[in-house]
Structure 1
Amino acid sequence: MKMKTVIDVFWRGILVIWSLSIILPLFWIVYESLKTNQEFFQNIWSFPEKLQWHNYRQAWVSMDFNRVILNTLYYVGTSLIIGTFLTVLNAYALTRVEFKGRKFLWATILISLFLPGINALVPQYVLMRELHLTNSLTGLIILDSLGESVFFLMLMSGFMQSLPKELEEGAFMDGASLFQVFRKIILPLSMPGIVTIAIFKFIGLYNNFLAPFIYLGSEEKYTIGVSMYFANQRMQYSSDWVTLFAGVIIAMVPPTILFIFFQRKVMEGATLGSVKG
Protein backbone atom coordinates (compact mmCIF):
# COMPACT_ATOMS: atom_id res chain seq x y z
CA MET A 1 0.00 0.00 0.00
CA LYS A 2 2.84 2.35 0.88
CA MET A 3 4.64 1.56 -2.40
CA LYS A 4 1.44 2.34 -4.35
CA THR A 5 1.17 5.69 -2.57
CA VAL A 6 4.78 6.57 -3.41
CA ILE A 7 4.24 5.70 -7.07
CA ASP A 8 1.05 7.82 -7.18
CA VAL A 9 2.90 10.77 -5.66
CA PHE A 10 5.73 10.34 -8.17
CA TRP A 11 3.42 10.34 -11.20
CA ARG A 12 1.40 13.25 -9.85
CA GLY A 13 4.63 15.19 -9.43
CA ILE A 14 5.54 14.42 -13.05
CA LEU A 15 2.13 15.67 -14.20
CA VAL A 16 2.50 18.87 -12.13
CA ILE A 17 5.93 19.56 -13.67
CA TRP A 18 4.55 18.86 -17.13
CA SER A 19 1.62 21.23 -16.50
CA LEU A 20 3.94 23.99 -15.27
CA SER A 21 6.12 23.60 -18.37
CA ILE A 22 3.04 24.53 -20.42
CA ILE A 23 1.39 27.11 -18.15
CA LEU A 24 4.45 29.18 -17.21
CA PRO A 25 5.52 30.02 -20.81
CA LEU A 26 1.93 31.05 -21.59
CA PHE A 27 1.81 33.21 -18.47
CA TRP A 28 5.14 34.77 -19.49
CA ILE A 29 3.81 35.65 -22.96
CA VAL A 30 0.70 37.23 -21.42
CA TYR A 31 2.53 39.63 -19.13
CA GLU A 32 5.16 40.39 -21.79
CA SER A 33 2.33 41.44 -24.10
CA LEU A 34 1.28 44.05 -21.54
CA LYS A 35 4.67 45.80 -21.39
CA THR A 36 6.26 48.52 -23.44
CA ASN A 37 9.11 47.55 -25.73
CA GLN A 38 11.50 49.51 -23.50
CA GLU A 39 10.47 47.46 -20.46
CA PHE A 40 10.80 44.26 -22.46
CA PHE A 41 14.39 44.95 -23.51
CA GLN A 42 15.41 46.22 -20.07
CA ASN A 43 14.31 43.05 -18.24
CA ILE A 44 12.32 40.27 -19.83
CA TRP A 45 11.44 38.76 -16.42
CA SER A 46 10.05 41.86 -14.72
CA PHE A 47 6.35 42.61 -14.55
CA PRO A 48 5.00 45.70 -16.37
CA GLU A 49 4.74 48.90 -14.36
CA LYS A 50 1.52 49.75 -16.17
CA LEU A 51 -0.63 47.38 -18.21
CA GLN A 52 -0.38 48.32 -21.89
CA TRP A 53 -3.73 47.05 -23.20
CA HIS A 54 -3.34 49.12 -26.34
CA ASN A 55 -0.75 46.54 -27.51
CA TYR A 56 -3.68 44.29 -28.41
CA ARG A 57 -5.32 47.01 -30.48
CA GLN A 58 -1.99 47.65 -32.18
CA ALA A 59 -1.54 43.93 -32.89
CA TRP A 60 -5.06 43.66 -34.32
CA VAL A 61 -4.44 46.56 -36.72
CA SER A 62 -0.83 45.88 -37.69
CA MET A 63 -1.38 42.17 -38.33
CA ASP A 64 -4.69 42.86 -40.12
CA PHE A 65 -6.64 40.36 -38.03
CA ASN A 66 -9.93 41.41 -39.64
CA ARG A 67 -8.85 39.95 -42.99
CA VAL A 68 -6.79 37.10 -41.53
CA ILE A 69 -9.61 35.82 -39.32
CA LEU A 70 -12.11 35.93 -42.20
CA ASN A 71 -9.69 33.92 -44.36
CA THR A 72 -9.14 31.45 -41.53
CA LEU A 73 -12.86 31.07 -40.81
CA TYR A 74 -13.59 30.39 -44.49
CA TYR A 75 -10.76 27.86 -44.76
CA VAL A 76 -11.30 26.14 -41.42
CA GLY A 77 -15.11 26.23 -41.43
CA THR A 78 -15.61 24.87 -44.94
CA SER A 79 -12.86 22.24 -44.60
CA LEU A 80 -14.28 21.20 -41.24
CA ILE A 81 -17.83 20.68 -42.50
CA ILE A 82 -16.87 18.82 -45.69
CA GLY A 83 -14.02 16.84 -44.11
CA THR A 84 -16.03 15.73 -41.08
CA PHE A 85 -18.95 14.60 -43.23
CA LEU A 86 -16.64 12.60 -45.51
CA THR A 87 -14.91 11.01 -42.51
CA VAL A 88 -18.24 9.90 -41.02
CA LEU A 89 -19.42 8.62 -44.41
CA ASN A 90 -16.18 6.70 -45.01
CA ALA A 91 -16.24 5.22 -41.51
CA TYR A 92 -19.83 4.05 -42.01
CA ALA A 93 -18.99 2.41 -45.34
CA LEU A 94 -15.93 0.63 -43.95
CA THR A 95 -17.45 -0.59 -40.70
CA ARG A 96 -21.19 -1.06 -41.22
CA VAL A 97 -21.60 -1.88 -44.93
CA GLU A 98 -20.60 -5.29 -46.27
CA PHE A 99 -19.04 -5.28 -49.74
CA LYS A 100 -16.40 -7.24 -51.58
CA GLY A 101 -12.85 -6.06 -50.92
CA ARG A 102 -13.77 -4.11 -47.79
CA LYS A 103 -11.14 -5.79 -45.61
CA PHE A 104 -8.44 -5.30 -48.25
CA LEU A 105 -9.37 -1.62 -48.60
CA TRP A 106 -9.29 -1.13 -44.82
CA ALA A 107 -5.89 -2.88 -44.60
CA THR A 108 -4.53 -0.63 -47.36
CA ILE A 109 -5.70 2.46 -45.49
CA LEU A 110 -4.03 1.25 -42.29
CA ILE A 111 -0.75 0.64 -44.14
CA SER A 112 -0.67 4.36 -44.96
CA LEU A 113 -0.06 5.02 -41.25
CA PHE A 114 3.53 3.88 -41.82
CA LEU A 115 4.11 6.33 -44.67
CA PRO A 116 5.34 9.83 -43.70
CA GLY A 117 2.86 12.44 -44.89
CA ILE A 118 5.70 14.64 -46.13
CA ASN A 119 6.24 12.12 -48.98
CA ALA A 120 3.01 13.27 -50.61
CA LEU A 121 3.97 16.94 -50.53
CA VAL A 122 5.64 17.12 -53.97
CA PRO A 123 3.04 15.11 -55.95
CA GLN A 124 0.24 17.04 -54.21
CA TYR A 125 1.80 20.36 -55.16
CA VAL A 126 2.31 19.27 -58.78
CA LEU A 127 -1.32 18.12 -58.98
CA MET A 128 -2.61 21.34 -57.39
CA ARG A 129 -0.49 23.42 -59.78
CA GLU A 130 -1.75 21.53 -62.85
CA LEU A 131 -5.35 22.05 -61.68
CA HIS A 132 -4.66 25.78 -61.11
CA LEU A 133 -5.61 25.50 -57.45
CA THR A 134 -2.49 27.07 -55.95
CA ASN A 135 -2.76 30.47 -54.27
CA SER A 136 -6.43 29.73 -53.62
CA LEU A 137 -8.22 29.19 -50.33
CA THR A 138 -10.80 27.09 -52.18
CA GLY A 139 -8.03 24.87 -53.55
CA LEU A 140 -6.65 24.50 -50.04
CA ILE A 141 -10.11 23.52 -48.80
CA ILE A 142 -10.39 20.83 -51.51
CA LEU A 143 -6.97 19.46 -50.59
CA ASP A 144 -7.70 19.25 -46.86
CA SER A 145 -11.28 18.01 -47.25
CA LEU A 146 -10.47 15.16 -49.62
CA GLY A 147 -7.23 14.21 -47.86
CA GLU A 148 -8.66 11.77 -45.32
CA SER A 149 -6.87 11.38 -41.99
CA VAL A 150 -6.40 7.74 -40.98
CA PHE A 151 -6.42 8.72 -37.29
CA PHE A 152 -9.88 10.34 -37.52
CA LEU A 153 -11.15 7.47 -39.66
CA MET A 154 -9.98 4.92 -37.08
CA LEU A 155 -11.50 6.94 -34.25
CA MET A 156 -14.86 7.22 -35.99
CA SER A 157 -14.80 3.59 -37.09
CA GLY A 158 -14.06 2.42 -33.55
CA PHE A 159 -17.03 4.40 -32.30
CA MET A 160 -19.40 3.08 -34.97
CA GLN A 161 -18.37 -0.50 -34.28
CA SER A 162 -19.69 -0.07 -30.73
CA LEU A 163 -23.22 0.62 -32.00
CA PRO A 164 -25.62 -2.36 -31.90
CA LYS A 165 -26.08 -3.99 -35.30
CA GLU A 166 -29.68 -4.84 -34.42
CA LEU A 167 -30.72 -1.20 -34.86
CA GLU A 168 -29.82 -1.27 -38.55
CA GLU A 169 -31.30 -4.72 -39.10
CA GLY A 170 -34.60 -3.62 -37.58
CA ALA A 171 -34.66 -0.50 -39.78
CA PHE A 172 -33.95 -2.53 -42.93
CA MET A 173 -36.79 -4.91 -42.03
CA ASP A 174 -39.12 -1.89 -41.79
CA GLY A 175 -38.16 -0.90 -45.33
CA ALA A 176 -35.61 1.82 -44.63
CA SER A 177 -32.97 2.49 -47.28
CA LEU A 178 -29.23 2.56 -46.60
CA PHE A 179 -29.19 6.36 -46.67
CA GLN A 180 -32.16 6.58 -44.28
CA VAL A 181 -30.43 4.26 -41.81
CA PHE A 182 -27.29 6.39 -42.02
CA ARG A 183 -29.18 9.67 -41.60
CA LYS A 184 -31.77 8.69 -38.98
CA ILE A 185 -29.90 6.10 -36.89
CA ILE A 186 -26.13 6.20 -37.35
CA LEU A 187 -25.66 9.98 -37.43
CA PRO A 188 -27.65 10.75 -34.23
CA LEU A 189 -26.04 7.88 -32.28
CA SER A 190 -22.56 8.81 -33.52
CA MET A 191 -22.83 12.46 -32.47
CA PRO A 192 -20.36 12.19 -29.52
CA GLY A 193 -17.74 10.73 -31.87
CA ILE A 194 -18.53 13.31 -34.56
CA VAL A 195 -18.11 16.16 -32.07
CA THR A 196 -14.79 14.69 -30.97
CA ILE A 197 -13.26 14.47 -34.44
CA ALA A 198 -14.76 17.85 -35.38
CA ILE A 199 -12.92 19.50 -32.47
CA PHE A 200 -9.67 17.73 -33.31
CA LYS A 201 -10.07 18.70 -36.96
CA PHE A 202 -10.78 22.32 -36.02
CA ILE A 203 -7.63 22.57 -33.91
CA GLY A 204 -5.56 20.87 -36.61
CA LEU A 205 -6.89 23.12 -39.38
CA TYR A 206 -6.64 26.27 -37.28
CA ASN A 207 -3.00 25.53 -36.44
CA ASN A 208 -2.15 24.28 -39.93
CA PHE A 209 0.88 26.13 -41.22
CA LEU A 210 2.70 24.05 -43.83
CA ALA A 211 -0.03 23.71 -46.47
CA PRO A 212 -1.18 27.38 -46.38
CA PHE A 213 2.46 28.48 -46.37
CA ILE A 214 3.24 26.41 -49.47
CA TYR A 215 0.07 26.97 -51.49
CA LEU A 216 -0.85 30.58 -50.65
CA GLY A 217 1.31 33.21 -52.30
CA SER A 218 -0.78 36.36 -51.80
CA GLU A 219 -0.77 38.17 -48.48
CA GLU A 220 -4.48 38.88 -48.89
CA LYS A 221 -5.19 35.13 -48.59
CA TYR A 222 -3.00 34.28 -45.60
CA THR A 223 -4.50 32.25 -42.76
CA ILE A 224 -3.65 32.96 -39.15
CA GLY A 225 -0.71 30.55 -38.98
CA VAL A 226 1.05 32.03 -42.02
CA SER A 227 0.25 35.59 -40.92
CA MET A 228 1.84 34.96 -37.49
CA TYR A 229 4.93 33.48 -39.17
CA PHE A 230 5.53 36.56 -41.31
CA ALA A 231 4.79 38.81 -38.32
CA ASN A 232 7.60 36.99 -36.51
CA GLN A 233 9.89 37.42 -39.53
CA ARG A 234 9.30 41.17 -39.48
CA MET A 235 10.64 41.38 -35.93
CA GLN A 236 14.22 41.42 -37.22
CA TYR A 237 13.46 44.83 -38.72
CA SER A 238 10.99 46.39 -36.25
CA SER A 239 11.71 44.61 -32.92
CA ASP A 240 8.16 45.30 -31.76
CA TRP A 241 8.04 42.16 -29.65
CA VAL A 242 5.25 43.18 -27.28
CA THR A 243 2.88 43.63 -30.23
CA LEU A 244 3.87 40.20 -31.53
CA PHE A 245 3.17 38.65 -28.11
CA ALA A 246 -0.25 40.32 -28.10
CA GLY A 247 -0.92 38.85 -31.54
CA VAL A 248 0.05 35.40 -30.29
CA ILE A 249 -2.46 35.68 -27.44
CA ILE A 250 -5.20 36.82 -29.84
CA ALA A 251 -4.46 33.86 -32.12
CA MET A 252 -4.72 31.45 -29.16
CA VAL A 253 -8.15 32.61 -28.02
CA PRO A 254 -10.49 30.72 -30.47
CA PRO A 255 -9.10 27.16 -30.00
CA THR A 256 -8.73 27.72 -26.25
CA ILE A 257 -12.38 28.78 -25.87
CA LEU A 258 -13.51 25.88 -28.06
CA PHE A 259 -11.65 23.31 -25.98
CA ILE A 260 -12.86 24.80 -22.66
CA PHE A 261 -16.49 24.43 -23.73
CA PHE A 262 -16.18 21.02 -25.37
CA GLN A 263 -13.46 19.25 -23.37
CA ARG A 264 -15.97 16.90 -21.71
CA LYS A 265 -17.39 15.85 -25.08
CA VAL A 266 -13.86 15.24 -26.35
CA MET A 267 -13.14 12.90 -23.44
CA GLU A 268 -16.48 11.11 -23.80
CA GLY A 269 -16.11 10.66 -27.54
CA ALA A 270 -12.52 9.45 -27.24
CA THR A 271 -13.45 6.70 -24.76
CA LEU A 272 -16.89 5.58 -25.97
CA GLY A 273 -15.47 4.13 -29.17
CA SER A 274 -13.22 1.78 -27.21
CA VAL A 275 -16.17 -0.10 -25.68
CA LYS A 276 -18.04 -2.49 -27.92
CA GLY A 277 -21.65 -3.03 -27.03
Structure 2
Amino acid sequence: MSEKRTAADLAWWIVLIAWSLAILFPIVWILYESLKTNQEFFQNVWSFPDTLKWVNYKNAWLKYGIGDAMLNTLYYVGASLLIGTFLTTLNAYALTRMEFKGRKLLWGTIMLSLFLPGINALIPQYVLMRELHLTNSLTGLVLLDSLGENVFFLMLLGGFMRSLPKELEESAFMDGASLFQVFARIMLPLSVPGIVTVAIFKFLGLYNNFLGPFIYLSDQSKYTIGVTMYAANQMMQYSADWVTMFAGVTIAMVPSILLYILFQRSIMEGATLGAVKG
Protein backbone atom coordinates (compact mmCIF):
# COMPACT_ATOMS: atom_id res chain seq x y z
CA MET A 1 0.00 0.00 0.00
CA SER A 2 2.88 2.30 0.86
CA GLU A 3 4.54 1.68 -2.52
CA LYS A 4 1.31 2.49 -4.38
CA ARG A 5 0.91 5.70 -2.41
CA THR A 6 4.52 6.67 -3.11
CA ALA A 7 4.10 5.96 -6.83
CA ALA A 8 0.92 8.06 -6.88
CA ASP A 9 2.67 10.89 -5.06
CA LEU A 10 5.53 10.77 -7.55
CA ALA A 11 3.08 10.86 -10.47
CA TRP A 12 1.28 13.88 -9.00
CA TRP A 13 4.63 15.56 -8.34
CA ILE A 14 5.64 15.11 -11.98
CA VAL A 15 2.28 16.44 -13.17
CA LEU A 16 2.51 19.50 -10.93
CA ILE A 17 6.10 20.22 -12.00
CA ALA A 18 5.09 19.96 -15.67
CA TRP A 19 2.11 22.22 -15.04
CA SER A 20 4.32 24.78 -13.29
CA LEU A 21 6.82 24.76 -16.14
CA ALA A 22 4.01 25.22 -18.66
CA ILE A 23 2.93 28.35 -16.76
CA LEU A 24 6.42 29.74 -16.18
CA PHE A 25 7.84 29.09 -19.65
CA PRO A 26 5.78 31.74 -21.52
CA ILE A 27 6.64 34.34 -18.85
CA VAL A 28 10.37 33.62 -19.06
CA TRP A 29 10.23 33.53 -22.86
CA ILE A 30 8.55 36.94 -23.07
CA LEU A 31 11.07 38.33 -20.58
CA TYR A 32 14.19 37.43 -22.56
CA GLU A 33 12.51 38.28 -25.90
CA SER A 34 11.89 41.77 -24.55
CA LEU A 35 15.66 42.23 -24.11
CA LYS A 36 16.54 41.47 -27.74
CA THR A 37 16.75 43.57 -30.86
CA ASN A 38 14.11 43.01 -33.53
CA GLN A 39 16.79 41.56 -35.78
CA GLU A 40 17.73 38.96 -33.15
CA PHE A 41 14.05 38.16 -32.62
CA PHE A 42 13.38 37.42 -36.29
CA GLN A 43 16.61 35.47 -36.72
CA ASN A 44 15.86 33.01 -33.92
CA VAL A 45 12.98 33.34 -31.48
CA TRP A 46 14.51 30.75 -29.11
CA SER A 47 18.02 32.18 -28.79
CA PHE A 48 19.09 34.39 -25.89
CA PRO A 49 20.03 38.03 -26.58
CA ASP A 50 23.69 38.86 -27.17
CA THR A 51 23.37 42.03 -25.07
CA LEU A 52 20.48 43.04 -22.84
CA LYS A 53 18.48 45.86 -24.47
CA TRP A 54 16.88 47.53 -21.44
CA VAL A 55 16.08 50.51 -23.66
CA ASN A 56 13.14 48.47 -24.98
CA TYR A 57 11.36 49.12 -21.69
CA LYS A 58 11.86 52.85 -21.97
CA ASN A 59 10.61 52.76 -25.56
CA ALA A 60 7.52 50.76 -24.53
CA TRP A 61 6.75 53.14 -21.68
CA LEU A 62 6.89 56.18 -23.97
CA LYS A 63 5.52 54.68 -27.20
CA TYR A 64 2.42 53.04 -25.72
CA GLY A 65 1.71 55.57 -22.98
CA ILE A 66 1.98 52.91 -20.28
CA GLY A 67 2.42 55.55 -17.56
CA ASP A 68 -1.00 57.12 -18.28
CA ALA A 69 -2.56 53.67 -18.67
CA MET A 70 -1.20 52.64 -15.27
CA LEU A 71 -2.69 55.77 -13.66
CA ASN A 72 -6.06 55.02 -15.26
CA THR A 73 -5.81 51.42 -14.08
CA LEU A 74 -4.85 52.55 -10.58
CA TYR A 75 -7.97 54.72 -10.33
CA TYR A 76 -10.27 52.11 -11.86
CA VAL A 77 -8.92 49.17 -9.85
CA GLY A 78 -8.40 51.10 -6.61
CA ALA A 79 -11.85 52.71 -6.47
CA SER A 80 -13.65 49.54 -7.63
CA LEU A 81 -11.72 47.46 -5.11
CA LEU A 82 -12.51 49.68 -2.12
CA ILE A 83 -16.20 50.16 -2.91
CA GLY A 84 -16.79 46.63 -4.17
CA THR A 85 -15.07 44.89 -1.25
CA PHE A 86 -16.99 47.01 1.27
CA LEU A 87 -20.32 46.22 -0.42
CA THR A 88 -19.47 42.51 -0.64
CA THR A 89 -18.68 42.51 3.09
CA LEU A 90 -22.00 44.19 3.89
CA ASN A 91 -23.94 41.81 1.66
CA ALA A 92 -22.22 38.73 3.05
CA TYR A 93 -22.94 39.84 6.62
CA ALA A 94 -26.59 40.57 5.87
CA LEU A 95 -27.20 37.27 4.09
CA THR A 96 -25.35 35.00 6.53
CA ARG A 97 -25.62 36.61 9.98
CA MET A 98 -28.94 38.50 9.95
CA GLU A 99 -32.37 36.90 10.18
CA PHE A 100 -35.11 38.52 8.09
CA LYS A 101 -38.11 37.39 6.09
CA GLY A 102 -37.24 36.17 2.62
CA ARG A 103 -33.52 35.74 3.34
CA LYS A 104 -33.39 32.14 2.13
CA LEU A 105 -35.35 33.01 -1.01
CA LEU A 106 -32.98 35.91 -1.72
CA TRP A 107 -29.90 33.73 -1.15
CA GLY A 108 -31.34 31.00 -3.39
CA THR A 109 -32.04 33.52 -6.15
CA ILE A 110 -28.46 34.77 -5.93
CA MET A 111 -27.14 31.20 -6.13
CA LEU A 112 -29.37 30.60 -9.17
CA SER A 113 -27.55 33.38 -11.00
CA LEU A 114 -24.45 31.15 -11.05
CA PHE A 115 -26.09 29.20 -13.87
CA LEU A 116 -26.61 32.31 -16.02
CA PRO A 117 -23.69 33.21 -18.31
CA GLY A 118 -22.43 36.70 -17.56
CA ILE A 119 -22.36 37.53 -21.27
CA ASN A 120 -26.19 37.60 -21.19
CA ALA A 121 -26.08 40.83 -19.17
CA LEU A 122 -23.71 42.57 -21.56
CA ILE A 123 -26.30 44.25 -23.81
CA PRO A 124 -28.68 45.33 -20.98
CA GLN A 125 -25.71 46.73 -19.05
CA TYR A 126 -24.46 48.67 -22.05
CA VAL A 127 -27.92 50.13 -22.75
CA LEU A 128 -28.25 51.15 -19.10
CA MET A 129 -24.77 52.70 -19.03
CA ARG A 130 -25.49 54.59 -22.24
CA GLU A 131 -28.79 55.97 -20.95
CA LEU A 132 -27.08 57.13 -17.76
CA HIS A 133 -24.29 58.77 -19.83
CA LEU A 134 -21.65 56.63 -18.13
CA THR A 135 -19.96 55.26 -21.25
CA ASN A 136 -16.42 56.41 -22.03
CA SER A 137 -15.96 57.12 -18.32
CA LEU A 138 -13.63 55.47 -15.83
CA THR A 139 -16.03 56.47 -13.05
CA GLY A 140 -18.83 54.70 -14.91
CA LEU A 141 -16.69 51.56 -15.04
CA VAL A 142 -16.02 51.89 -11.31
CA LEU A 143 -19.76 52.06 -10.60
CA LEU A 144 -20.49 49.12 -12.90
CA ASP A 145 -17.89 46.83 -11.31
CA SER A 146 -18.54 48.00 -7.74
CA LEU A 147 -22.32 47.63 -7.78
CA GLY A 148 -22.34 44.44 -9.82
CA GLU A 149 -21.92 41.81 -7.09
CA ASN A 150 -19.92 38.68 -7.87
CA VAL A 151 -21.61 35.55 -6.53
CA PHE A 152 -18.31 33.71 -6.06
CA PHE A 153 -16.94 36.42 -3.74
CA LEU A 154 -20.24 36.53 -1.87
CA MET A 155 -20.14 32.76 -1.34
CA LEU A 156 -16.49 32.84 -0.28
CA LEU A 157 -16.88 35.61 2.30
CA GLY A 158 -20.33 34.43 3.36
CA GLY A 159 -18.99 30.94 4.08
CA PHE A 160 -16.21 32.44 6.17
CA MET A 161 -18.59 34.65 8.17
CA ARG A 162 -20.98 31.75 8.71
CA SER A 163 -18.18 29.83 10.45
CA LEU A 164 -17.74 32.50 13.15
CA PRO A 165 -19.39 31.80 16.54
CA LYS A 166 -22.90 33.22 16.89
CA GLU A 167 -22.33 33.77 20.62
CA LEU A 168 -20.07 36.75 19.91
CA GLU A 169 -22.94 38.72 18.39
CA GLU A 170 -25.43 37.61 21.02
CA SER A 171 -23.13 38.77 23.82
CA ALA A 172 -22.61 42.13 22.15
CA PHE A 173 -26.36 42.64 21.68
CA MET A 174 -26.96 41.77 25.34
CA ASP A 175 -24.42 44.45 26.30
CA GLY A 176 -26.42 47.03 24.34
CA ALA A 177 -24.38 47.17 21.12
CA SER A 178 -26.17 48.28 17.98
CA LEU A 179 -26.21 46.33 14.74
CA PHE A 180 -23.63 48.66 13.21
CA GLN A 181 -21.36 48.35 16.26
CA VAL A 182 -21.52 44.56 16.11
CA PHE A 183 -20.62 44.64 12.44
CA ALA A 184 -17.83 47.21 12.74
CA ARG A 185 -16.23 46.10 16.02
CA ILE A 186 -16.74 42.33 16.00
CA MET A 187 -17.54 40.87 12.60
CA LEU A 188 -15.31 43.13 10.53
CA PRO A 189 -12.07 42.49 12.51
CA LEU A 190 -12.73 38.74 12.73
CA SER A 191 -13.43 38.54 9.00
CA VAL A 192 -10.19 40.24 7.93
CA PRO A 193 -8.61 36.99 6.53
CA GLY A 194 -11.66 36.37 4.34
CA ILE A 195 -11.91 40.02 3.31
CA VAL A 196 -8.22 40.09 2.34
CA THR A 197 -8.70 36.97 0.21
CA VAL A 198 -11.72 38.47 -1.56
CA ALA A 199 -9.85 41.75 -2.07
CA ILE A 200 -6.89 39.94 -3.67
CA PHE A 201 -9.15 38.00 -6.04
CA LYS A 202 -11.03 41.18 -6.87
CA PHE A 203 -7.77 43.00 -7.61
CA LEU A 204 -6.62 40.28 -9.99
CA GLY A 205 -9.98 40.23 -11.73
CA LEU A 206 -10.15 44.02 -12.08
CA TYR A 207 -6.54 44.44 -13.16
CA ASN A 208 -6.90 41.74 -15.83
CA ASN A 209 -10.35 42.92 -16.91
CA PHE A 210 -10.29 43.60 -20.62
CA LEU A 211 -13.84 43.27 -21.94
CA GLY A 212 -15.43 46.02 -19.81
CA PRO A 213 -12.86 48.77 -20.49
CA PHE A 214 -12.66 47.71 -24.15
CA ILE A 215 -16.41 48.05 -24.65
CA TYR A 216 -17.09 51.19 -22.61
CA LEU A 217 -13.97 53.30 -23.22
CA SER A 218 -13.55 54.97 -26.61
CA ASP A 219 -11.09 57.70 -25.61
CA GLN A 220 -7.52 56.38 -25.81
CA SER A 221 -6.39 58.67 -23.00
CA LYS A 222 -8.70 56.72 -20.65
CA TYR A 223 -7.52 53.24 -21.60
CA THR A 224 -6.55 50.82 -18.85
CA ILE A 225 -3.39 48.74 -19.17
CA GLY A 226 -5.21 45.77 -20.71
CA VAL A 227 -6.78 47.82 -23.51
CA THR A 228 -3.51 49.70 -24.03
CA MET A 229 -1.62 46.45 -24.64
CA TYR A 230 -4.38 45.29 -27.00
CA ALA A 231 -3.95 48.53 -28.97
CA ALA A 232 -0.18 47.93 -28.99
CA ASN A 233 -0.76 44.46 -30.42
CA GLN A 234 -2.97 45.93 -33.15
CA MET A 235 -0.12 48.24 -34.11
CA MET A 236 1.92 45.19 -35.07
CA GLN A 237 -0.14 45.03 -38.28
CA TYR A 238 1.72 48.11 -39.50
CA SER A 239 5.08 47.72 -37.76
CA ALA A 240 7.26 44.86 -36.58
CA ASP A 241 8.57 46.23 -33.30
CA TRP A 242 7.83 43.05 -31.38
CA VAL A 243 10.55 43.40 -28.75
CA THR A 244 9.07 46.73 -27.61
CA MET A 245 5.65 45.14 -27.33
CA PHE A 246 7.11 42.26 -25.30
CA ALA A 247 8.68 44.85 -22.98
CA GLY A 248 5.26 46.47 -22.56
CA VAL A 249 3.66 43.11 -21.80
CA THR A 250 6.35 42.44 -19.19
CA ILE A 251 5.67 45.79 -17.50
CA ALA A 252 1.94 45.03 -17.50
CA MET A 253 2.57 41.65 -15.78
CA VAL A 254 4.64 43.09 -12.92
CA PRO A 255 1.77 44.18 -10.55
CA SER A 256 -0.02 40.82 -10.75
CA ILE A 257 3.17 38.82 -10.24
CA LEU A 258 4.25 40.97 -7.28
CA LEU A 259 0.82 40.66 -5.68
CA TYR A 260 0.90 36.89 -6.01
CA ILE A 261 4.43 36.66 -4.57
CA LEU A 262 3.58 38.89 -1.59
CA PHE A 263 0.12 37.51 -0.75
CA GLN A 264 0.11 33.88 -1.87
CA ARG A 265 0.03 32.69 1.75
CA SER A 266 -2.92 34.98 2.52
CA ILE A 267 -4.79 33.66 -0.50
CA MET A 268 -4.37 30.03 0.54
CA GLU A 269 -5.13 30.63 4.22
CA GLY A 270 -8.13 32.86 3.59
CA ALA A 271 -9.64 30.52 0.99
CA THR A 272 -9.55 27.49 3.32
CA LEU A 273 -9.96 28.97 6.80
CA GLY A 274 -13.75 29.16 6.67
CA ALA A 275 -14.03 25.58 5.44
CA VAL A 276 -11.72 24.33 8.22
CA LYS A 277 -13.70 26.12 10.91
CA GLY A 278 -17.02 25.00 9.50
TM-score normalised to structure 2 length: 0.99
1:124 maps to amino acid: Q
Checking the alignment, whether the CA contact within 8 Å between 1:196 and 1:266 is kept in structure 2 is: yes
1:64 is matched with 65
Count of residues in Structure 1 that have an aligned counterpart in Structure 2: 277
Question: 2:37 aligned with 1:21, yes or no?
Answer: no
- Note the C-alpha offset of 1:117: 0.1
Question: 2:231 aligned with 1:230, yes or no?
Answer: yes
2-structure distance, mates of 1:199, 1:185 = 22
2:178 is matched with 177
1:216 is matched with 217
Question: 2:132 aligned with 1:131, yes or no?
Answer: yes
Question: 2:67 aligned with 1:81, yes or no?
Answer: no
Counterparts of 1:138-217 in structure 2, within 5 Å, are 138-217=139-218
Percent identical among aligned pairs is 73
Question: 2:108 aligned with 1:107, yes or no?
Answer: yes
1-structure distance, mates of 2:158, 2:26 = 37
- Note the C-alpha offset of 1:275: 2.7
Moved more, 102-111 or 20-29: 20-29
1:170 maps to amino acid: S
TM-score normalised to structure 1 length: 0.99
1:271 is matched with 272
1-structure distance, mates of 2:265, 2:253 = 20
Question: 2:24 aligned with 1:31, yes or no?
Answer: no
Structure 1 runs (4+) deviating above 3 angstroms are: none
Counterparts of 1:248-267 in structure 2, within 5 Å, are 248-267=249-268
- Note the C-alpha offset of 1:66: 1.5
- 1:84-129 deviation digits (Å, cap 9, x = unpaired): 0000000000000000000000000000000000000000000000
2:203 maps to amino acid: F
Checking the alignment, whether the CA contact within 8 Å between 1:161 and 1:276 is kept in structure 2 is: no
Moved more, 254-263 or 171-180: 254-263
1-structure distance, mates of 2:235, 2:15 = 38
2:54 is matched with 53
- Note the C-alpha offset of 1:226: 0.4
Counterpart secondary structure, 2:275: coil
Q: RMSD over aligned Cα, in angstroms?
A: 0.7
Unaligned runs of 5+ in 1: none
- Note the C-alpha offset of 1:25: 1.2
Counterpart secondary structure, 1:77: helix
